[in-house]
Structure 1
Amino acid sequence: MSLPVNLDMDVLRSFVTGIELGSFARAASRLGRSPSAISLQLRKLEDQVGQQLVQKHGRGLVLTEAGEMLLGYARRLLDLNDAAVNALGSPALTGRVRIGLPQDFAETWLPETLGRFARLHPGVRIDAHVDRNATLRSRLDEGQLDLALLWDEDGGERDGAVIGTLPMAWIGPRRGVTPGTDHPIPLVLFGSPCIFRHAALNALDAAAIPWRISFSSPGLAGLWAAVSAGLGLTVRTPHGLPAALTALDQEESGLPRLPSLSLHLLEARTRSDPAVERLAALLTDVLTVAIGEMDHATNVAPH
């Protein structure tokens, strides 16, 4: 009877980091290793599992079916490893973290990330508040939040970590026809104040394109439903769109170009709290990777 194969955690971490960052060269920099060392680790992992995990695709690499399967297991193994190290190697974190999130992320990246944090630090209570940018900013300033993810409205956001930049896009139904610019364009938007509304109306006015508000909603689900029903176009980032919606090609649609938005993670101006700092670090890592994946898709640069 052959002995079971014991997968090396360091090797698994290099594999997962390379895939999540979109490049094994970036993984080498993040983990403090040379690119050649990461390459050796990848080959070792393929030898251990007896299958090819990545394959060439154009100038980059993509996961094979076996690689996709291993990636899920590897992430869970690393979570268990990190939970064990945290439980045994340092005092358990306790306390409460109040975090504010834009609606754009409440149903996509963040639930899994907050769940991961809760598993690693069960003694910390997380209170998540989902709301619009202006409300989150006000609650942070008033001391009602410890952390807040905020869109940069004017390019002059206070302090805080810049997580990444996402483009704004005109969003319409995948099955529908883009309204022409000869008649007022029907728009589905939040009420004021809203940075996406402001950007959409400014862009249309600057291009002398007439518009009308056909539907207004206080929540993102309402916007998606109205656009899916063909009531008009909206403006958001391309992140997390429902399957029935798509970002429109600006040249083909004749719609004006829109600006990009920076995403910032801000902490309240209070005394340092280890639980807040640990959650801020995890969010920064996860969102940086997720935004990078939007740019690189599943391609992995040669290593």
Structure 2
Amino acid sequence: MTPMPMVERASLPLLDIEVLRTFVAIAESGSFTRAARQVFRTPSALSMQIKRLEETLGQTLFVREARRVRLTPEGEMLLGYGRRLLKLNEEAVTQFLAPALEGRVGFGTTDDVGTRILPGVLAQFARSHPAVQVDVVVGSGAAMRQRLEAGELDLILVTVAMHGQSTQDEVVHSEPLVWAGREGGVAAQRSPLPVALAQHGCPWRKAALDALDRTGLSYRVAYTSEHCAGQEAAMLADLAVSPFPLALIRAPLRRLDGDTLPPLGDYQVALVRRDGLGEAGEALAARVIEAFRDLRG
């Protein structure tokens, strides 16, 4: 039996990194005009680049609408590849051209935030800047702010209320805060309503208590924990319900919908730098911001 001929790798077209940068800019902004301002080219030049890219791949990447453009399914697929290729290109160039960063960065975070992005951020940062030592501390938002002010930490991630952040806070993420409980549980039907909350000063706690007080719903604070793992344990045991980020709810927990529990709105995650943060700290801050952008998709 004659073997099937192998496809020559050299026959495959190579994707131009600048064209990929243009494609990602258009996809993220939803507009050729806005993307043109970002990459300092004209919209018509961008259109030509995308046309050539579509011809190279044999796929339509964008659906043009009256005031915006949106990705086709093939475009969505390419966006994931494009972002990864741009990151790899940046890392490769950094290794050879960027000045080597050295030093130590003290990074503090609350557990609900850090568990989502830290593994990827630290792995990527270690590849790009292997000579920088990153010391991670996990604790409450209030404790992180105190340690930042004392000079013990360089950079912190904390949760903040939608309109309660200080001028130092750079909001990097926003998401819904919802009521959660165990699937099939009865805690939500109890009266007074048992709630599990974070410690004083946490925006989740304030949002929940304000919402309950506004509606006049009878409740009792059944459990208080410094970490969201404590709230999660109370919900898993069906001993209480809790305000929780929608993105963190996993089976057997579920979002509690209905007219009996008041809406909680959104909360935000803020990045706070110490005054005089050095180059290593700024490089880590950039990675954190990028990780949350990727989280939003």
Note whether the superposition's TM-score is higher than 0.5: yes
- Aligned equivalents of 1:74 and 1:268: distance in 2? 33
Aligned match for 2:178, one of 169, 172, 192: 169
Q: Is contact 1:24-1:35 (8 Å) kept?
A: no
Q: What secondary structure, in the 3-state scheme, does the structure 2 residue paired with 1:253 have?
A: coil
From the superposition, tell whether residues 254 and 245 of structure 1 become closer, same or farther in structure 2 (CA, over 3 Å): same
Residue identity (%):
36
Q: Is contact 1:24-1:38 (8 Å) kept?
A: no
Q: Is contact 1:189-1:213 (8 Å) kept?
A: yes
Give the drift of 1:68: 5.0
Which residue of 2 is the match for residue 257 of structure 1? 263
- Look at both structures and tell me which one has the larger radius of gyration over its CA atoms: 2
1:25-78 Cα deviation digits (max 9, x unpaired): 554444344444444433332322233445689x963452x5455444333322
Which residue of 1 is the match for residue 4 of structure 2? none
Aligned residue type for 1:100 = G
From the superposition, tell whether residues 109 and 262 of structure 1 become closer, same or farther in structure 2 (CA, over 3 Å): same
2:66 aligned with 1:61, yes or no? Answer: no
Give the drift of 1:9: 0.5
Aligned match for 1:209, one of 201, 214, 217: 217
Aligned residue type for 2:235 = V
- Aligned equivalents of 2:101 and 2:200: distance in 1? 40
1:51-107 Cα deviation digits (max 9, x unpaired): 3445689x963452x545544433332222112221222311111111112222222
Alignment of 1:148-297 (within 5 A): 148-152=156-160, 155-173=164-182, 176=185, 179-180=188-189, 183-249=191-257, 252-269=258-275, 271-288=276-293, 290-291=295-296, 293=297
Structure 2 unaligned regions, length at least 5: 1-7
Structure 1 unaligned regions, length at least 5: 294-303
Q: Is contact 2:177-2:266 (8 Å) kept?
A: yes
What's the TM-score, normalizing by structure 2?
A: 0.80
From the superposition, tell whether residues 91 and 262 of structure 1 become closer, same or farther in structure 2 (CA, over 3 Å): same
Larger relative contact order, structure 1 or 2 (CA cutoff 8 Å, min sep 6): 1
Task: Count the aligned residue pairs.
Answer: 285
Q: Is contact 2:187-2:193 (8 Å) kept?
A: no
Aligned match for 1:14, one of 14, 17, 22: 22
What's the TM-score, normalizing by structure 1?
A: 0.79
